[in-house]
Amino acid sequence: MLPTDVPFADFGEVVEIAEDDDFVNARAYSDGLIVEMDPQMQRELIAEKYQIVGHDNEGFEAEIFFARGSETVGTIQMRDGPCEGIVTLLLTYTSPEKKKADDE
């Protein structure tokens, strides 16, 4: 269910994946640092032909909003916790094809 061209699973251990309507939602845990994972995720998304359309990094939390063409297709959120030294990663993703089919 995870999109193969989104580098989500590369950054942590995926512990939950669920489909909800047109979206795939996933949760992972990592022992990495947000300040190191965030720029690397952006580079990998760009390498997979996504565009970064929004971004916020406060050190203890970060969000990346990414698109393909004119469609925003996903977000990756990173948050410190649930315990010290662990980062929770959250992915929300829909493919442009799903969005297009729903609009028709």
Q: Give the CA-trace dihedral at 24, 80, 78, 5, to 10 degrees.
A: -70
The total number of residues shown for the chain amounts to 104
Give the whole-angstrom CA distance, residue 90 versus residue 15.
10
What is the model's pTM? 0.88
pLDDT in tens, the chain (104 residues): 889 999 999 999 999 999 988 899 999 999 999 999 999 999 999 999 999 999 999 989 999 999 998 888 999 999 999 999 999 999 999 975 555 555 55
Q: Which domains does the chain have, with CATH numbers?
A: 9-103 (3.60.90)
